[in-house]
């Protein structure tokens, strides 16, 4: 059985696997990024400043431009150190599908997606290998700043695994971000790699319901074939970050929150409102199955409305404080 868009299950097209396998031709690893866009991204987010000290709007714009690796590409090999002391190589993990997820200790998208990852691991952990790679600091601050040593990065990866109660493999990229850049440089990228080492699905802004559809498609075809699901999901999945992601930049400290506001005006108020409304919104925002379009719009409208109400209340209080007594 195969999940439909509304989360129910229905019969799968019996010819789908055949079509996927026929069209799945492993191509050399390369980004689908146009040359002009690659140059602009390098200007906005230069390689030599990979471990930046301050998040700026240009970093967010660069992230919006990144496309990741297209399905059908050969997944770049890697050799990473895990928090349990092992060395992880892609070549050693072939034979079973893999979910490769790039994360950051201070990223609200990472923090907001933890519960979704736990749910996916509960559903598929015995059939799909889960590997998370700690990349650069998304929102560095005075508490947790840009990485300057591999030892410090590994220590933070261990903290991440413990704090988030992660039962799957957590590894660290090197200080230059070699693995992350090989996979298109996407900050919160998530890749479903088939058992032969082919990119089957790419999500560029965290994990949305399309990821679960892709996993189901791939497993229904014996773990081989590309593309699966939509192939590429470039939509920013910010609902989870709004509802459950504020503790990410809070780890960075006050400086991280200030920089986030400068780079993404209104982000702190939006996440504050989402945190307050979490009991109401969590069942909708932190889910692995698709929502109707009208519900998604309402989901974003609620925290925006709460944020606007908070802003008006603060402004009214400040205005009242300026009125002289007896005036």
Q: How many domains does the chain have?
A: 1
Residue 180 falls inside a structural domain = yes
Q: Is the dihedral of CA 258, 107, 140, 70 positive or negative?
A: negative
Rounded Cα gap, residues 242 and 270, in angstroms: 6
Residue 304 falls inside a structural domain = no
What letter does residue 65 receive in the DSSP assignment? H
Q: What CATH number should be reported for the domain holding residue 32?
A: 3.40.30.10
Residue 163 falls inside a structural domain = yes
Residue 92 falls inside a structural domain = yes
Q: What per-residue confidence (pLDDT) applies to 10? A: 43
Beta bridge partners of 325: none
Q: What per-residue confidence (pLDDT) applies to 1? A: 47
What is the number of other CB atoms lying within 10 angstroms of the CB of residue 225? 26
Q: Tell me the residue range of the domain where 121 lies.
A: 12-236
- pLDDT beneath 70, residues of the chain: 1-16, 18-32, 290-311, 313-314, 318, 321-327
Q: What per-residue confidence (pLDDT) applies to 23? A: 52
Residue 319 falls inside a structural domain = no
Rounded Cα gap, residues 216 and 223, in angstroms: 9
Residue 223 falls inside a structural domain = yes
Rounded Cα gap, residues 5 and 125, in angstroms: 22
């Amino acid at each position: 059985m195969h999940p439909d868009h509304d989360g129910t299950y229905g019969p799968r097209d019996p010819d789908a696997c055949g079509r996927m396998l026929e069209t799945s031709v492993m191509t050399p690893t390369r980004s689908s990024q146009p040359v002009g866009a690659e140059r602009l991204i390098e200007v906005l987010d230069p390689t030599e400043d990979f471990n930046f000290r301050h998040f700026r709007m240009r970093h967010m714009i660069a992230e919006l431009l990144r496309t990741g690796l297209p399905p059908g590409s050969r997944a770049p090999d890697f050799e990473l150190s895990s928090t349990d002391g092992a060395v992880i190589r892609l070549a050693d993990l072939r034979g079973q599908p893999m979910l490769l997820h790039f994360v950051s200790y201070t990223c609200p998208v990472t923090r907001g997606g933890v519960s979704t990852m736990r749910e996916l691991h509960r559903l598929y952990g015995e059939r799909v290998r889960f590997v998370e790679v700690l990349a650069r600091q998304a929102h560095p601050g005075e508490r947790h700043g840009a990485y300057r040593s591999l030892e410090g990065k590994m220590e933070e990866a261990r903290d991440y695994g413990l704090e988030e109660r992660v039962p799957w493999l957590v590894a660290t990229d090197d200080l230059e971000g070699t693995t992350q850049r090989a996979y298109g440089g996407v900050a919160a990228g998530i890749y479903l790699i088939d058992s032969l080492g082919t990119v089957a699905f790419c999500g560029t802004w965290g994990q949305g319901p399309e990821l679960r559809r892709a996993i189901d498609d791939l497993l229904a075809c014996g773990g081989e074939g590309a593309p699966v699901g939509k192939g590429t999901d470039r939509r920013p999945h910010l609902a989870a970050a709004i509802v459950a992601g504020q503790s990410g930049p809070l780890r960075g400290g006050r400086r991280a929150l200030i920089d986030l506001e400068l780079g993404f005006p209104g982000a702190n108020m939006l996440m504050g409102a989402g945190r307050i409304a979490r009991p109401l919104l969590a069942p909708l925002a932190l889910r692995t199955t698709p929502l109707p379009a009208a519900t998604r719009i309402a989901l974003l409208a609620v925290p925006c409305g709460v944020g606007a109400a908070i802003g008006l209340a603060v402004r009214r209080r400040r205005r009242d404080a300026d009125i002289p007594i007896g005036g």
